[in-house]
Each structure stands twice: as C-alpha cells, then as structure tokens.
C-alpha cells in the first residue's frame, strides 16, 4: 500500500513539473483563474482594451480589431449596462491570444472575455463601409472599429437567440428608424441573402424581425401607427400597404408554395 502511495505522489510531482514548464514557456506566472462569468460594464471594457493595448505595445504588436454583439452595443449606443464578453475579430496570433489571457489574469476577467467565436456568424456580403471607427482614449496599438448598426441588426435577427437579442433588435430597429417589415427584410437580405441561408433559417429570422417591429408599433403595424409625414405621402403609403399585403399573402399555406415572396420593393411592385 505504501508503494502505491509513493507512486501516486511521484506522478503528481511529475505533472506539477510539466505544468510549471508550460506556464514558464507561456510567460505567465500562473494559469488564468477559473472565475465565475462577470458582466463587463462600459468602464470595464475600456479598461481592458487599454490594458491590452499597453500589453501589445510592449511586444511591438499593432493590430486592427472589429467588435460585434453586446460589446458594440455597450460602447457605441449605451443601450446595455454590460455584456458577458467581447465578440471580436482580429488577425489570428498566439501572441495576441496570450496578451488577452494576461490582461484577463491581471484584471480578474472571466476566461474568454475577448473571443472570436463570432466569426461563425459573419456575413460574406459585408464590406468596409459596413464598419465604423470606435474611439477609445489611449489606444495606440489597436485600431478599433465595430459593425455598423445595420450589420449588427442583421446579425442579431439571424441569431435570434432570445430575450437579449430581441432587446438589441428593438433598439437597433428604433435607431435605424425601420417602420415596416418590408424595409427590415430588405436590410436583412443585403447581408444574408435568402437563397444562401436556406428557407428554414430565413423564415425563423423573418419571424424574429417581425416580432421586434410588432413590439415597437403593435401587432398590426398599419399606416395609422406610422408618423404623419409617412401617412401623408401617397407613394410611401402605397409601398407600405403593398408590403403588408404581400406579407399576409405569402403567409397562407395555399400560396407560399407557388412562388417565393419578392425580397425587394421593386419586385414587390411588379408582383402586385
């Protein structure tokens, strides 16, 4: 029995030695702490980015970084108090990942406080103009930008993950002054074309978008719920009526199998 305990103790010592070598090689004094997820406030995000900028500066690294999701909503629009993590994209590099780990350790941030999992949800139609610069004080080594409100809305609608995404969707719809489903669908199609995402995913996104618009304007977002200047414009009045009519038309089971609903207003007018 004594020999078994001696072997176990020796094995533990060996594993600890291996871990120490790995930590030393990574230039960390210890492994990142396993902490419970903490929400990142605007001030905390700015502090973390500034600390990351300093860390990269000491290593003579300069990068471009684009923010998405909750982090962008917190920093740019003040529509959220905080977010769970920062969704971002940047040039892949072990040195940058290590720098983020070191900052997380120093500021006691949750593991994955900065991550690039958002790459799986990006649009291949997005262009340079679909990003806007973010100004954070004291950033010298990070050129920071974020997805535009239109791009953010399209991503939120496609994700459609529940209450958090719905709150952001409603706020972005208001910011972009989208008054009806037709305009929302047109925006969505610009980033995620229906024929590329697939019918099932598209219909789910369409319902999510519609729910966001209904939350603002009511279940029937008719002309009387829109602003006076829109109601007094005959051309816009007709286009809104036509959009709502086609929404109902293509929702009926007997019709939606005949032909797909047009994705832009010009085609809708031709269809009518």
User: DSSP readout, 7-56?
Assistant: HHHHHHHHHHHHHHHHHHHTT-SSPPP------EEHHHHHHHHHHHHHHH
Across the strands, what pairs with 115? 87
H or E stretch at 65: strand 63-68
What is the pLDDT at residue 249? Answer: 56
CB 85 within 8 Å of CB 13? no
User: Given CA atoms 131, 172, 69, 198 in this order, what sign does their dihedral have?
Assistant: negative
DSSP letter, residue 125 = T
Residues of the chain with pLDDT under 50: 4, 7, 11, 15, 18-36, 221-232, 236, 252-258, 265, 268-269, 271-272
pLDDT of residue 225: 40
8-state DSSP, 232 = T
Q: Are 65 and 143 in contact (CB under 8 A)?
A: yes
pLDDT confidence of residue 158: 95
pLDDT at 162: 81
pLDDT of residue 16: 54
pLDDT value for 23: 38
pLDDT at 163: 83
- How high is the pLDDT of residue 132? 96
């Amino acid at each position: 029995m004594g020999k078994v305990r001696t072997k176990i103790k020796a094995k533990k010592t060996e594993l600890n030695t291996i871990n120490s070598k790995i930590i030393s090689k990574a230039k960390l004094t210890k492994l990142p702490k396993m902490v419970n997820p903490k929400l990142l406030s605007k001030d905390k995000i700015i502090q973390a980015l500034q600390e990351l900028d300093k860390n990269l500066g000491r290593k003579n690294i300069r990068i471009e970084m684009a923010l998405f999701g909750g982090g962008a909503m917190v920093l740019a629009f003040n529509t959220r108090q905080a977010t769970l993590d920062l969704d971002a994209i940047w040039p892949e590099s072990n040195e940058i990942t290590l720098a983020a780990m070191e900052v997380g350790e120093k500021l006691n941030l949750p593991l994955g406080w900065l991550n690039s999992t958002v790459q799986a949800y990006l649009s291949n139609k997005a262009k340079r103009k679909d990003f806007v610069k973010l100004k954070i004080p004291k950033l010298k080594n990070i050129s920071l930008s974020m997805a535009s409100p239109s791009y953010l809305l399209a991503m939120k609608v496609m994700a459609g993950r529940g209450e958090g995404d719905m709150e952001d969707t409603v706020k972005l719809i208001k910011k972009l002054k989208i008054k009806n489903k037709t305009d929302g669908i047109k925006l969505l199609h610009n980033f995620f074309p229906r024929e590329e995402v697939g019918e099932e995913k598209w219909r789910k996104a369409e319902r999510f978008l519609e729910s966001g618009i209904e939350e603002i304007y009511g279940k029937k977002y008719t002309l009387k719920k829109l602003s006076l200047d829109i109601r007094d414009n005959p051309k816009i009045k007709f286009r809104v009526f036509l959009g709502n009519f086609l929404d109902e038309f293509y929702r009926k089971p007997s019709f939606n199998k005949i032909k797909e609903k047009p994705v832009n207003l010009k085609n809708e007018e031709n269809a009518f």
